């Protein structure tokens, strides 16, 4: 590093660390409220959990499938209508240019559970949330399904997570730089927080009224540096996702079973001209997280045979991807009901829990920041001009596989 004795300096109301969906949403919302913001991201925008999500804007139905009646379905349902307004260009921020991969998801049954699931999905609890599709109205991948396989339509869109990240980044105007806080670099005082940030071989000293940590798994490292016992604040819930190349048709939806988590959740994309399935759901969670790559691929082949037996799946090229899903801590270590925000002094850390909960998470961050940075001032980031900006993360099927 050069220039550490006399680093460049910048000032802002809020320094955001992390360029995923929640960091970028916080940036746009805070700027809209008059705060000056600088955001730093150590790799690429969306390179952690955001682009690795399946891009589903949940309305909470997935959790009702599991018999959950906690706050998550209600939080997602409340936010869902606002997502649809934004995608249509009628809400803030205008996300009408975000690439919507599928306007609706499907839920389908395996032949062995068709009769049980049919009665369950037709129950009063589900009747207003799903619509059974006749054979001629089904997506291409389900038109050759055998008699007895039920297919229902759900008003939950799937978006290209990279496109969403790009659009939310365009909603703000403050600087975004490729950088990471230096070790032991967050120093608080009554006047503000000083943070040394390493950017492309340069050290920048940023004076901010408040620091927002939106770095996913990186939050724990940064919180430990200011003396926080992170075992009480955040947790990691790993996933072992599956990538399948060479599919004949795209799939967007859940293979369901009554009163249980979806057996398999599939969204799709294109790699060149080839259809790629990105597979999560129960298979990606324990015990899938304990399997080796080869064991997970074998398990995925068996699940695909069971869930989509009418499709050509034997020739699919399978690979796996391990994702560390950082979340706020819950007492029992389970999934939080909604976003989790933790604050200590001038540092606010946020975990959105789900892609669809990023707007709610940003609003909670704003509520924490407002009393700390009560008098927004114009930022000064001219000394950061010329420093590189982070690129947009690649699609997950181009990420390096992990064993």
For residues 130 and 255, membership in a common domain is answered with yes
For residues 250 and 320, membership in a common domain is answered with yes
Residue 59 domain flag: no
| Number of domains forming the structure of the chain | 2
Average pLDDT of the chain? 89
**CATH number of residue 195's parent domain:** 3.50.50.60
pLDDT of residue 3: 44
For residues 249 and 215, membership in a common domain is answered with no
3-state helix, strand, coil in the chain (%, to 5): 30, 30, 40
For residues 247 and 149, membership in a common domain is answered with yes
For residues 195 and 316, membership in a common domain is answered with no
pLDDT of residue 351: 97
**CATH number of residue 315's parent domain:** 3.30.9
For residues 211 and 243, membership in a common domain is answered with no
136 close to 169: Cβ distance less than 8 angstroms: no
For residues 244 and 321, membership in a common domain is answered with yes
- Neighbouring C-alpha atoms within 13 Å toward the C-beta of 288: 27
267 close to 56: Cβ distance less than 8 angstroms: yes
Cβ neighbours for 253, distance < 8 A, ≥ 6 positions apart: 105, 106, 107, 108, 154, 265, 266
For residues 136 and 245, membership in a common domain is answered with yes
Dig out the tokens for 247 from the structure. 């599919």
pLDDT of residue 185: 77
Where does a domain end: 272, 301, 325? Answer: 325
pLDDT in tens, the chain (403 residues): 444 557 889 999 999 999 999 999 999 999 999 999 999 999 999 998 999 999 999 886 656 555 555 555 566 777 888 999 999 999 999 999 999 999 999 999 887 765 455 555 655 455 557 888 998 999 999 999 988 888 999 989 999 999 999 999 999 999 999 999 998 778 988 889 999 999 988 999 999 999 999 999 999 999 999 999 999 999 999 999 999 999 999 999 999 876 567 899 999 999 988 999 999 999 999 999 999 999 999 999 999 999 999 999 999 999 999 999 999 987 776 778 889 999 999 999 999 988 999 999 999 999 999 999 888 888 888 888 889 999 999 999 999 765 4
For residues 255 and 384, membership in a common domain is answered with no
| Domain of 150, in residue numbers | 105-154+238-325
State how far the Cα of 85 lies from the Cα of 176, in Å rounded to an integer: 27
pLDDT of residue 269: 96
Residue 56 domain flag: no
Helix H or strand E segment including 200: none
pTM of the entire predicted model: 0.92
pLDDT of residue 374: 82
Where does a domain end: 261, 290, 325? Answer: 325
Where does a domain end: 325, 340, 369? Answer: 325
Block residue for tokens 């080796």 = 292
State how far the Cα of 346 lies from the Cα of 52, in Å rounded to an integer: 30
pLDDT of residue 120: 58
pLDDT of residue 301: 98
């Amino acid at each position: 590093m050069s220039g550490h004795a006399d680093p460049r300096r910048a000032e802002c109301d809020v320094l955001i660390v992390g360029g995923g969906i929640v960091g970028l949403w916080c940036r746009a919302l805070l700027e809209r409220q008059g705060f000056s913001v600088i955001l730093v991201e150590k790799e690429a925008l969306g390179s952690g959990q955001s682009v690795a999500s399946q891009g589903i804007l949940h309305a909470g139905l997935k959790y009702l499938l599991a018999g959950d009646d906690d706050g998550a379905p209600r939080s997602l349902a409340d936010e869902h209508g606002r997502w649809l307004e934004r995608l249509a260009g009628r809400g803030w921020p205008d996300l009408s240019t975000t690439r919507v991969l599928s306007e609706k998801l499907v839920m389908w049954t395996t032949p062995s559970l068709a009769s049980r699931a049919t009665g369950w999905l037709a129950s009063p609890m589900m009747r207003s949330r799903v619509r059974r599709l006749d054979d001629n109205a089904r997506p291409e991948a389900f038109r050759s399904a055998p008699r007895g396989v039920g297919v229902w339509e759900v008003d939950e869109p799937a978006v290209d997570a990279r496109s969403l990240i790009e659009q939310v980044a365009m909603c703000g105007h403050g600087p975004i730089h490729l950088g990471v806080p230096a070790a032991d670099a967050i120093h608080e005082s009554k006047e503000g927080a000083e943070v040394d940030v390493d950017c492309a071989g340069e050290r920048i000293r940023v004076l901010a009224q408040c620091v927002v940590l939106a770095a996913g798994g990186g939050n724990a490292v940064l919180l430990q540096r200011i003396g926080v016992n992170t075992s009480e604040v955040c947790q990691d819930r790993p996933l072992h996702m599956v990538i399948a190349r060479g599919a004949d048709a795209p799939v967007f939806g859940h293979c369901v079973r009554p009163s249980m988590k979806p057996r398999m959740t599939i969204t799709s994309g294109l790699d060149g001209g080839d259809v790629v399935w990105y597979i999560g759901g129960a298979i990606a969670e324990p015990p899938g997280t304990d399997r080796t790559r080869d064991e997970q691929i074998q398990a995925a082949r068996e699940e695909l045979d069971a869930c989509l037996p009418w499709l050509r799946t034997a020739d699919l090229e399978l690979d796996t991807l391990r994702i560390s899903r950082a979340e706020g801590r819950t007492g029992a270590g389970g999934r939080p009901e909604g976003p989790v925000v933790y604050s200590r002094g001038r540092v606010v850390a946020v975990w959105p829990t789900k892609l669809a909960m990023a707007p709610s998470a940003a609003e909670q961050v704003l509520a924490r920041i407002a009393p700390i940075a009560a008098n927004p001032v114009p930022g000064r980031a001219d000394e950061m001009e010329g420093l590189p900006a982070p690129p947009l993360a690649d699609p997950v099927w181009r990420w390096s596989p992990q064993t």
